[in-house]
């Protein structure tokens, strides 16, 4: 999740120059297998060819040093950062 310097994930492989990543929070996440993992939660705004999409993502811990696992949990057309951030907080049981 956080690297040894305390920095958040490097999203450079996922974001273009006009895109944005916003940290939503950190908390527990129950995955499809029923495991509860601590995760960092983000909304990513993608702007490509006149289209805008917002993705709700989680970043669980990865035992492999230098690796980033990004899970796309939900995607909506347009700039829906506030809506998807609220959804992530509710899903993880975090207070608004």
Mean pLDDT, the chain, integer: 87
Residue 12 lies in a domain: no
The pLDDT tens digits for 49-76 are: 999 999 999 998 877 777 788 899 999 9
The whole-model pTM stands at 0.85
Q: How many domains does the chain have?
A: 1
What residues make up the domain containing 30?
Answer: 20-92
2 inside domain: no
- Kind and range of the H or E run holding 63: none
| Residue 9 covered by a domain | no
Domain presence at residue 11: no
In a domain, residue 10? The reply is no
Rounded Cα gap, residues 32 and 20, in angstroms: 27
């Amino acid at each position: 999740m956080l690297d040894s310097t305390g920095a958040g994930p490097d999203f450079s492989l996922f974001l273009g120059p006009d895109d944005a990543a916003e940290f939503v929070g950190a908390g527990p996440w129950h995955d499809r297998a029923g495991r509860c993992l601590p995760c960092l939660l983000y909304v990513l705004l993608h702007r490509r060819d006149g289209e805008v999409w917002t993705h709700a993502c989680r970043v669980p811990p990865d035992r492999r040093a230098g690796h980033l696992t990004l899970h796309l949990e939900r995607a909506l057309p347009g700039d829906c950062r506030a809506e998807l951030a609220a959804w992530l907080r509710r899903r993880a049981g975090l207070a608004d």
